[in-house]
Every structure is written in C-alpha cells, then in structure tokens.
C-alpha cells in the first residue's frame, strides 16, 4: 500500500494511518527513501559501523559482496561469455586479505598456458617456480625463473583445465603460491596432473591486482578469487 504524507490542517483517515504503519512495518522490509518512502536499491545500509545489529538471524543471505575477517568469501569472479586473453582483478589489498584462493576452470580454443602476475609486473624476471607433474606413467619435474608464474595448460579446442592456487599475499616476504592443476582434459582423458610451488620476489609492494593471461580464455571459462576480510 502507498505511504500517505499528512498535511497540516487536513483530516487524516484511520485507514491512511494504518496503511502507513503497514508500509514500513509489514511484510518484507525494503530499504526506503524519499518523502514517499519508496523502495530503493544499493543506497541505504542496515546498521552502520558505529551502530551494528547485535545478531542477524536469517534463512538465506544473498549478498553480492561479503566482508568478514573470519570467512572465505568471493572477492572477484569472472564467467567468460566471449573469448578474452586477459583477466584482471583489481582493488585488492594483499596486506589486509593476507591470503587468496584462486580457482580456474579454463577452456580454450588454442594451445595455451595460463600465466599469473601481480600488480602488472610482467616485464622483469621476478617469478620463480618449480613443478612436478605426471603424464600417463611418466613423472617429471622442472623449474623456471620467468616474467610470470605458469599455472596450467589448455592444450586444444575443447580441452579444459582445473586449477587451485593458494597465494600468500602479505608484504614483508616473497609472495608464495602453491598450485594444483589438471591440464588438457577432454572426454575421459586427462593429459597431465601438476603440482607447482612458486614465488614473486617483490616483497615490498602491496598486492593490489592479479592478472591472468592466456592465448585465450574460451566461453565457459570460470575464475573465482576468494579472500578473507
């Protein structure tokens, strides 16, 4: 029901008064603004940093962004609907979030590696990584010092990869990363399983962005970045 604004020296109907109470207190409680208390979106808060609700008890919480020190929450997500060669997550703070989990489901239309770099640092050899991997019955290892960290491989059209990374992001030490990746998978064949450990030798710059690069990330590629805080 609509909200009635009472006017000086004008008789108010009891129904209008009741409806005003119902408008603000009955049914789903929406954020409201303006003289007519119309529903709004993305403007008003529930509580504030100085005036918090003690407990919020709900069946379902649907939030685009969650910030909590003791919770792993999505900080950025990208579902690819048209091919791209670069994905960037910005607005990060590696010193407050401390650790990230990065998940990549990758599909490609070309043979490509997926590489990662921090804060756009891709021109100097600031990354070192070591890998052990198995391909059929062969187990091998390799190590590299490069301009980015290689996370996974997508071999060909229709092949996919799955990557899980743990990134230690705080300044003061080299930023370390652990990566498990399943590479070049299609049908019932997985070409390679890899475990990598690596680091970014920059120990003084706060991580503010993460870039991922490939020849292409194809449609249905899906990347999640989770962090704390």
Partner 1 sequence: MAFTILKKDTLIDEIEINNNFYHIRQGDFLPRAGESLTAIDNSLNMGETANRYNDLHCNNLEVETNITNVWYLVAATTLDATASSIEFTGLNSDNDQMYNIALKAVSGTTATFVINIYFNGDSTAANYGFQKTVAQSTAVTGTRNTSAAIEVGSFLGTSVSQSDILIYSKTGNERLLIAEYLGGGSGTTVYTSNINSGIWNSSATISSLKIEAASNSFVTNTNIQVWAKR
In the region spanning residues 52 to 71, those forming contacts with partner 1, defined by CB under 8 A, are 52-66, 68, 71
Q: Which is nearer to partner 1, 149 or 223 (CB)?
A: 223
Lay out the site mask for partner 1 across 74-113 (x = CB under 8 A, - = otherwise).
x--x-------------------------x-x-x------
Nearer to partner 1, 16 or 121 (CB): 16
Phi, psi values for residue 136, rounded to 5°: 55, -120
Nearer to partner 1, 25 or 172 (CB): 25
**Residue 160 β-bridge partners:** 107, 185
Binding of partner 1 at residue 14 (CB under 8 A)?
A: yes
Q: Name which of 5 and 66 has its Cβ closer to partner 1.
A: 66
Choices 1-9, 11-19, 123-131, 144-152; region in contact with partner 1 by CB under 8 A: 11-19
The piece of 2-10, 13-21, 122-130, 203-211 that touches partner 1 (CB under 8 A) is 13-21
Looking at beta carbons only, is 50 or 123 nearer to partner 1? 50
Q: Torsion angle, CA of 201/203/204/210, rounded to 10 degrees?
A: 70
Overall size of the chain counted in residues: 229
All residues at 6 or more sequence positions from 39 whose CB lies less than 8 Å from its CB, including other chains: 30, 31, 32
Cβ-proximal residues to 160 (8 Å cutoff; 6+ apart), any chain? 105, 106, 107, 154, 185, 186
| Of positions 24, 111, 156, 203, contacts partner 1 by CB under 8 A | 24
Structure tokens, 212: 């991922």
* Residue 71 three-state SS: coil
H or E stretch including 25?
Answer: helix 14-25
C-alpha to C-alpha distance for 30 and 207, rounded to whole angstroms: 37
Q: How far is the CB of 111 from partner 1 (least distance, A)?
A: 18
The two tokens of residue 176 are 């370390």
Sole window of 3-11, 148-156, 183-191, 196-204 interacting with partner 1 (rule: CB under 8 A): 183-191
Q: Please report, as residue ranges, which positions from 136 to 175 form the binding site for partner 1 (by CB under 8 A).
A: 136-139, 160-162, 164
Q: How far apart are CA 87 and CA 131, in angstroms?
A: 24
Of 21 and 173, CB closest to partner 1: 21
């Amino acid at each position: 029901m609509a909200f009635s604004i009472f006017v000086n020296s004008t008789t108010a109907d009891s129904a209008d008064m009741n409806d005003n109470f119902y408008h603000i207190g009955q049914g789903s409680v929406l954020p409201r603004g303006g003289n007519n208390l119309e529903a709004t979106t993305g403007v008003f808060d529930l509580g504030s940093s100085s005036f918090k609700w003690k407990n919020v008890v709900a069946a379902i919480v649907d939030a685009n962004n969650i910030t909590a020190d003791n919770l792993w929450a999505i900080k950025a997500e990208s579902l690819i609907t048209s091919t791209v060669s670069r994905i960037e997550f910005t607005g990060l703070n590696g010193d407050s979030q401390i650790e990230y989990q990065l998940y990549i489901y990758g599909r490609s239309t070309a043979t490509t590696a997926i590489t990662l770099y921090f804060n756009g640092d891709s021109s100097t050899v600031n990354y070192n990584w070591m890998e052990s991997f198995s391909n059929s019955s062969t187990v091998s290892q390799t190590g590299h010092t490069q301009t980015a960290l290689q996370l996974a491989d997508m071999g060909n059209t229709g092949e996919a990869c799955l990557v899980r990374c743990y990134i230690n992001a705080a300044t003061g030490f080299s930023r370390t990363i652990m990566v498990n990746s399943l590479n070049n998978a299609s049908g019932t064949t997985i070409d390679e399983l890899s475990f990598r450990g690596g680091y970014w030798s920059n120990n003084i710059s706060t991580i503010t962005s993460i870039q991922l690069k490939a020849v292409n990330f194809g449609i249905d590629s899906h990347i999640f970045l989770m962090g704390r805080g």
